[in-house]
Amino acid sequence: MKKKIEFSSDYNEGAHPRLLDKLIETNMVQTHGYGSDPYCEEAYEVIKKLCGNKDLDIHMIVGGTLTNLIVIKAALRPHQCVLSPSNGHIHVQETGSIEATGHKISILSGKDGKITASQIDEACNEYWNNEGIVHLTQPKLVYITHPTEFGTLYKKAELQAISDVCKKRNLYLYMDGARLGYGLAAKENDTDLKFITECCDVFYIGGNKQGALFGEAVVIRNKTIAEDFRPIMKQCGGLLAKGRLLGIQFTELLKDGLYLELSVHANKMAEIIRSSLKRIGIKFFVENTTNLLFPILPDSILEELSKDYSLTYYKRWDEKSSVIRIATSWATTEENANKLAADLEKFC
């Protein structure tokens, strides 16, 4: 079978070489396990500094689904639920992992993957104004992704409003940052890690899709969630024996800007393809400035493209065209981005 060029996701390759080099360099150094070694300690310090807050609990977990379920399990009492946008990753891509911890996900319909402060407020009203309160699950944690599954971003003012309503309604705000770097590096972005830290009770800085072999770094500002987080991690199988592997990678990614650098690159590669698509008049299912593109392509072109490229089919648009997801990443080469851009112009 012919090898295709991958634009199907942002984790088609291994890790950035600098991370591998560091793993090799430290390979035979002896450490204790479970996140208590000097490499993890270093990563914790680097992250606290970037977040502008020394009083944070940091934990690193292998993957996103495991991270989401641990955070939510640690945060909620039995009768409490999560508010999530209708296309939230926990709702549509994680095989019921949140429900498997015993909690309902209550859906807020979103625009371009985003929800608003007033939707959250309204959901709380529905619960708290209801006489039969005992029959409903209690909203307690708001789950958002930033960037969203559609690559869109919350503006600073939107995040602030969401954070404010969460404080007002006694809700936790949890941001899934699987692609946080691609968001922070985007043209339209007006937030930063310090702001996000202040807004959220807990969020994570994604590594899996951002240049690491694996790993997500959870940043917990809220002390109630932080309490006993480690035994709950262990109970869920989320405490990596050789925790050092996570510490080494996150330190390398974050200590001197590599993380943002790689994110800038991915967004630039996306922009090459986006410009090409715009030039030839292709419409987008959703507009954004990050690393995921959602063009609406004629089916005939799709067939041509699929000979050389691996893309992700998102959904049918109309009888003759479909929404496609094209993902660039830290590892996308300029050569491949240009080749896809050229082929798109050729076929369309």
Nearer to its own copies, 42 or 99 (CB): 99
Residue 338 binding its own copies, by CB under 8 A: no
Which residue carries 């944070």 as its tokens? 56
Pick from 147, 238, 247, 295 the residue near its own copies by CB under 8 A.
238
Residue 92 binding its own copies, by CB under 8 A: yes
Two structure tokens written together for 261: 């650098």
Two structure tokens written together for 116: 């608003």
Residue 100 binding its own copies, by CB under 8 A: yes
Nearer to its own copies, 116 or 310 (CB): 310
> Within 301-320, which residues bind its own copies (CB under 8 A)?
310
Nearer to its own copies, 26 or 53 (CB): 26
- Smallest separation (angstroms) from its own copies to the CB of 256: 21
In degrees, rounded to 5, the angle at the alpha carbon of residue 290 between the alpha carbons of residues 199 and 316 is: 110
Q: Which stretch binds its own copies (CB under 8 A): 2-10, 117-125, 155-163, 261-269?
A: 2-10
- Smallest separation (angstroms) from its own copies to the CB of 75: 10
Residue 153 binding its own copies, by CB under 8 A: no
Q: Which stretch binds its own copies (CB under 8 A): 113-121, 134-142, 161-169, 276-284?
A: 134-142
With a CB cutoff of 8 Å and minimum separation 6, the contacts of 163 are 173, 198, 199, 200
String marking each residue 101-130 x if it binds its own copies according to CB under 8 A: xxxxx-------------------------
Nearer to its own copies, 50 or 240 (CB): 240
- Smallest separation (angstroms) from its own copies to the CB of 32: 7
Nearer to its own copies, 154 or 214 (CB): 214
Pick from 111, 118, 170, 231 the residue near its own copies by CB under 8 A.
231
- Smallest separation (angstroms) from its own copies to the CB of 85: 15
Distance CA(245)–CA(147), nearest Å, equals: 26
Residue 172 binding its own copies, by CB under 8 A: no
Q: Are 329 and 185 in contact (CB under 8 A)?
A: no
- Smallest separation (angstroms) from its own copies to the CB of 101: 8
Q: Are 144 and 112 in contact (CB under 8 A)?
A: no
Residue 222 binding its own copies, by CB under 8 A: no
Kindly state the number of chain residues that form the binding site for its own copies, as judged by CB under 8 A: 80
Residue 2 binding its own copies, by CB under 8 A: no
> Within 38-77, which residues bind its own copies (CB under 8 A)?
62-70, 73-74, 77
- Smallest separation (angstroms) from its own copies to the CB of 328: 13
Helix (H), strand (E), coil (C) string for the chain: CCCCEECCCCCCCCCCHHHHHHHHHCCCCCCCCCCCCHHHHHHHHHHHHHHCCCCCEEEEECCHHHHHHHHHHHHCCCCEEEEEECCCHHHHCCCCHHHHCCCCEEEECCECCECCHHHHHHHHHHHHCCCCHHHCCEEEEEEEECCCCCCCCCCHHHHHHHHHHHHHCCCEEEEECCCHHHHHCCCCCCCCHHHHHHHCCEEEEECCCCCCCCCEEEEECCHHHHCCHHHHHHHCCCCCCCCHHHHHHHHHHHCCCHHHHHHHHHHHHHHHHHHHHHHCCCCECCCCCCCEECEEEEHHHHHHHHHHEECEEEEEEECCEEEEEEECCCCCCHHHHHHHHHHHHHHC
> Within 187-216, which residues bind its own copies (CB under 8 A)?
208-209, 213-214
Residue 12 binding its own copies, by CB under 8 A: yes
- Smallest separation (angstroms) from its own copies to the CB of 194: 28
Nearer to its own copies, 240 or 293 (CB): 240
